[in-house]
Amino acid sequence: MRAVVMREQGAPSVLKIEDMPLPVIKPHEVLIKVGATGVSYHDVVERNGAYQRGVHFPMVLGPEIAGTVEQVGDQVRELKPGDRVCCKPFHSCGVCRRCRNGMETACKSRKGTRGGYAEYAAVAEEATVRIPDSLHFHVACWLAGTAGVALNAIRDVARVRLGEHVLVTGASGGLGLPSIEIACAAGAIVIAITRSEAKRAEIEKIGASHVVVAPDGHDFSKDVLALTGGDGAEVVVDNVGSRVFTPSFRSLAVGGRYALVGQLFREEISINPARIFFKRAQILGVGSVRRDQLEDAIKLVVAGKIHPKVAQVFPLEKAAEAHALVESGSVLGRVVLEP
C-alpha cells in the first residue's frame, strides 16, 4: 500500500510517500480502508519537532481517520467488513477504574490512534464509531478532535445553560467553530474572540452574537464586560490557553466556569490564587472526547446543527503541501487527505 512515511522531524518535505506492507491487525483491531484523513495542527507539531511525545521513526502520522472496515480481528465484537467508521484519537481499555467512571479519556492504558496517512490503517475497535452513509468521509474523519471535544467542553464539562453568555477563544479554529455552534444550540449567547478581522463574517454567520477581534496581548475583557452589562461571561471555553488566559479570566463572571480546552504555546501562566476564590470561579480541565460524545457530535452534524467546513482536499502524494498550508494558519476549516 501507499503511505506517507516520516523518518525524521523537520520541514514538510520530510513527509515522503513510500510503498509499505499492509498493517497486520491484532485480535482487538480492525483494518480500515482509509476514505479520508484530517490534517490537524497536532500533526504539524509532531512533524516539525515542536512535539516529541510518542514520536518514533519510521512513523505514519494521522489520528483523524474515516473509512470502511476491510478486516476484523478475532476479538472484534461489533464491527464487520463493510461498516463505515470514524475514529477517536485514542483507545482505552474499558475495564480500569477510570474507564468505568466515565473517564475513558484518562485511561491508564490509553494508546494513541495513528496511521491515517496511508491507504489502510489498523485501529482498535474501541477507538472506532460507526457513521451513517449520509456522512462523507471528508467530514467524519476529523469530528472527534473538533466537534466531539467541543461537545465535551460545552455540554458535559461547562454544562452550559439556556441564556448564559459563553466566551469562546480561538473562535475561528477547529475547536472554536463547533464550540460556537454547540453553545448556540444549547441556547447560549456567544461572544467570540479571534485575532483575525477577515474571519469575523464566518464567525457571525454560524451564530456568534458578538465577535471581538483581539490581536495578541490585547485585553479584550473590557469589551466582554461592556457586552454583558458589567457582569462578564458565565462560561469561558478557552481553546488557546496561556496567551489569552489573563483577559479571559477577567472576562469571567462571579461564580463562572472556566473550561480549559487548548494550550497552543509552551508557556506558563501566573495567577494570584485569591482571584480564583474572590470570583468563586471554577477552573475545569477538558480532555479529549469519549465514544458517546463522538456519537452525539455525529448526530448533531447529521441533524444540521453543526456545519463542519472542509477547506481543501489533497491526495496522499501532496501531504507536504497540505502540512505547509495548515502550518501557515491561513486556512478556515479542515485540510483533508484522500488516499
Residues that bind Zn ion (CB under 5 A): 92-93, 96, 99, 107
**Which residue, among 92, 110, 109, 115, has the nearest Cα to 43 in the 3D structure?**
115
Nearer to Zn ion, 26 or 222 (CB): 26
Q: How far is the CB of 292 from Zn ion (least distance, A)?
A: 15
Q: How far is the CB of 128 from Zn ion (least distance, A)?
A: 17
Q: How far is the CB of 94 from Zn ion (least distance, A)?
A: 6
Question: Between the CA of residue 146 and those of 27, 141, 207, what are the distances in Å?
Answer: 29, 10, 17
3-state SS of 116-137?
CCECEEEEEHHHEEECCCCCCH
> Residue 132 half-sphere exposure, CB side, CA atoms within 13 Å?
11
Nearer to Zn ion, 29 or 238 (CB): 29
Q: Which residues contact 180 (CB under 8 A, 6 or more apart)?
A: 168, 171, 190, 192, 203, 206, 207, 208
Nearer to Zn ion, 92 or 248 (CB): 92
Q: How far is the CB of 23 from Zn ion (least distance, A)?
A: 23
Q: Which residues contact 95 (CB under 8 A, 6 or more apart)?
A: none
Nearer to Zn ion, 99 or 190 (CB): 99
Residues, the chain, total?
339
Nearer to Zn ion, 20 or 93 (CB): 93
* 155 alpha-carbon distance from chain centroid: 15
Q: How far is the CB of 98 from Zn ion (least distance, A)?
A: 6
Q: How far is the CB of 125 from Zn ion (least distance, A)?
A: 15
Nearer to Zn ion, 107 or 147 (CB): 107
Write out the three cell numbers for 52. 516529541
3 has which bridge partners?
18, 118
